[in-house]
Structure 1
Amino acid sequence: MTGLTIGQAAAFVGVTIKTVRHYHRLGLVAEPDRDGSGYRRYRSDDLLRLVQVRTLAGAGVPLAEIGDLLDAEPEPFAAALDDVHRRLTEQIEELAARRDTLDRLAHGDRVLLPDRACALLDRLAGLGFDADYVAAQREALVLTRALIPEMFASFVAQLEQSLDDPTFVELTKRGLDARSWDQDDPRIEELASALADNLLANSAVRTAPSLPGNRTDTAARYGVVNHHREDEMPSVARLNALVEAKLRAAGIAIPRQ
C-alpha cells in the first residue's frame, strides 16, 4: 500500500487528527516518513500502534505510561496492566462513593446521617412525634456526629432502646407539652423526676461510655448538642437542667458547662 494520510489514519483508527498529533508529540507513535509530495504516509504498522495506544488510553491507562507499557516484555506488561487495573478499581470505587453521596443528597438526611440514624428518625415520626421534634432530633444527631463522633453510635443505640419503652415515649411527649408551660410550672419538677428515673432504668444509659476526657472543650461540645434549641423554650431548658442534675446525682457522668 502507498500509505494513508493523517486524516485517513485518524478516521480508520477512530480518533481525531489532533489526537494523532498529540500521540506524536508524546512519542507514543513515531511520525512516519514523508513521501515525495511532502505528506506523511501511515502504513499498517503505524495504524497498529495507533490502535494499541487508543485502546490503552480508552481503558484508562495514563498516556505517560503507555509508551513504556507497549515496549515492555510480556511479564512486565502483564504486571503493569494489573497495576492499572488496581488503580482503575480504586477510581471506580471513589466514583461510586460520589454517586452514592449524590443519591443521598436527593434524600435529605441521608447525606449527613447513616441509614441507622435515618431509620431512627422515621421511627420517631411513626410513633407520633411531631415534625418539629423530629427535626430537632435530626439536628442533634447531625451535631453529635460532627462534634462528638466517638459518642454517636452509643447515642443512637440509647435512643433506639429508649423508644422500645412505651413509658419513655409517653414521658417524652409530655416533655413536648412542656414547651408551652411557664418555666416555673411545678409540673416541670415532677416530669424531670419521672424522666430521670426512666432513663436510669435504661441499661443503655447506665452503661454508656463516658464522654472523651482528652478535650478541654468536652463540656462545650456536649452543651451544643444537648441544649440545642433550648434558647427558644425556657421551660424545656429548665426541664433538661433538672434531668441532668438528677442523673449526675445518680452517678452518670454528664459534663458541666
Structure 2
Amino acid sequence: MTDGITIGQAAAFAGITVKTIRVYHRNGLVEEPRRDSSGYRRYGTAELLRLVQVRILAGAGVPLAGIGPILDAEGEDFTTALDQVEDDLTRRIEELTARRDTLRRLATGDRVLLPDRACAILDRMPGLGFSTEDMAIAREGLILVRALVPEGFDDYLAQIEHGLDDPRHVALIKLTWSAGNWAADDPRIEELAEEMAQHFLADPSLLPTLTGLQDKDDATTRHDLLTHHGEDTRPGWSRLTELIQQKLHTTGAELP
C-alpha cells in the first residue's frame, strides 16, 4: 500500500478517534505524515504502529507527557521506564483505593471524620437514652472540637467518657439537651441552670474543658463557635449556657 490510509482509517484501525490522533500530533507523540497530491495526509504502517503503541500506553494510565520518552527509550532504559510507570500506577491505585474506602466509610455517616475513640462514645449514646437528634448534635460537636482544638481533643474525649460513667451526669445532660427545645424565657431553664451549676461545683471534673484553647490568639472566637453550635435549632441552649456560666462565676469557680 504505497499511498497509505486516511486519518479516519488510521483511527479505526488503531481503535481511537480522529480527535485523539490530532491530540497525539499536538503532543509530539506521533509525527504527522506528509500530504499526498490531493492534500490529504496518508498514514503508513510506521505511523499506524506508533498510534497503537501510544494508545496502549495511554490506556494503561501513562500520562501523555511520559509516553514519548518510553517509546524512544531502548534496551535497559525502556525496561527502567516501564518499571517507573508501574510504580507510579501502583501509587495511584493505592490512592484511589484509599479514596474509595473513604467514600464507603462516609456512606455510614460522619464516622470517617472522627477517630475510633470518638465513634465508640457515639455508639454508647443510644444505650444511655440519647435520641437520634442528640447523637447528630454530639457528632457535629465532636467534629468541630477536633477541628478547632485538635491538641485538646483526647483530653476532651476522656472527660466525656468520665461523664458517661456517671448516671446522674448522664441524666442531667439529657435534660440539658432537651432544654434546648424550650423557649428562652421558660422558667424551667433557671431551675436547670442552678442544678447544673451545683452539679459542676460538686464535681469540677465533669465540667467540660478544652486543653490548649486558652493559648490560642483567637481563643474567644473558637470558644464561641463551639459554645453556640446548635443554638439555631435549640433556642433554650443559649439562655441556659449563659445562666450556668453566671452562676459559676458568682461562686468564684474558674471556668474553662
The TM-score, its normalising length taken from structure 1, stands at 0.72
Matching residue's letter, 1:124 = M
Offset, 1:39 = 5.4
Matches within 5 A, 1:1-257: 1-2=1-2, 3-32=4-33, 40-100=41-101, 102-103=103-104, 106-110=107-111, 112-114=113-115, 116-176=117-177, 181-185=187-191, 188-198=193-203, 200=205, 210-228=211-229, 229=231, 232-233=236-237, 234-239=239-244, 242=247, 248-249=253-254, 254-255=255-256
- Report sequence identity in percent: 51
Name the SS for the 1:48 alignment partner: helix
Deviation at residue 141 of structure 1 after TM alignment: 1.7
Which amino acid in the other structure matches residue 199 of structure 2? A
Q: What is the aligned length? A: 246
- Give the unaligned 5+ runs of structure 2: none
The CA deviation at 1:99 is: 4.3
Compared CA separation, residues 246 and 82, structure 1 to 2 (3 A): farther
Pair 101,168 (structure 1): closer, same or farther in 2 beyond 3 Å = same
Letter matched to residue 171 of structure 2: E
The 2-side partners of 1:36 and 1:132 are apart by 77
Q: Secondary structure at the match of 1:182?
A: helix
User: Against the structure 1 CA distance between its residues 225 and 148, is the aligned structure 2 distance closer, same or farther, given a 3 Å change threshold?
Assistant: same
Gaps of at least 5 residues in structure 1 are none
Matched residue type, 1:194: H
Inter-partner Cα distance in structure 2 for 1:132 and 1:237: 23
AA partner of residue 239 (structure 1): I
Cα gap change, 1:117 to 1:198, in 2 (>3 Å): same
Distance 1:245 1:45 in 2: 90
1:182 alignment partner AA: R
- 8 Å CA contact 1:188–1:239 kept in 2: the answer is yes
Q: Is the 8 A contact 1:10 1:17 kept in 2?
A: yes
Is the 2:213–2:219 Cα contact (8 Å) retained in structure 1?
A: yes
- Secondary structure of 1:30's partner? coil
Alpha-carbon distance change, 191 to 15 in structure 1, aligned in 2, over 3 angstroms? closer
| Alpha-carbon distance between aligned partners in 1 of 2:108 and 2:150, rounded to the nearest angstrom | 22
RMSD in angstroms over aligned alpha carbons?
Answer: 3.8
Q: Comparing 132-141 with 97-106, which one deviates more in the overlay?
A: 97-106
Query: What's the CA shift for 1:111?
Result: 6.3
Deviations 1:88-144 (A, max 9, x none): 344444444554555555544346545553443342233212344334323322321
TM-score, length basis structure 2: 0.72
Distance 1:32 1:46 in 2: 8
Q: Distance in 2 between matches of 1:129 and 1:59?
A: 52
Paired residue type of 1:155:
Y
**SS at 2:125 equivalent:** helix
Asked if the contact 2:156/2:211 (under 8 Å) is kept, the reply is: no
Distance 1:245-1:69 versus aligned 2 partners, 3 A rule: farther
Separation of aligned partners in 1, 2:176 and 2:26: 74
Write the deviation string for residues 164-218 of structure 1: whole angstroms up to 9, x where unpaired: 3434323433545666653443x64344333444452x7xx89x88324542222
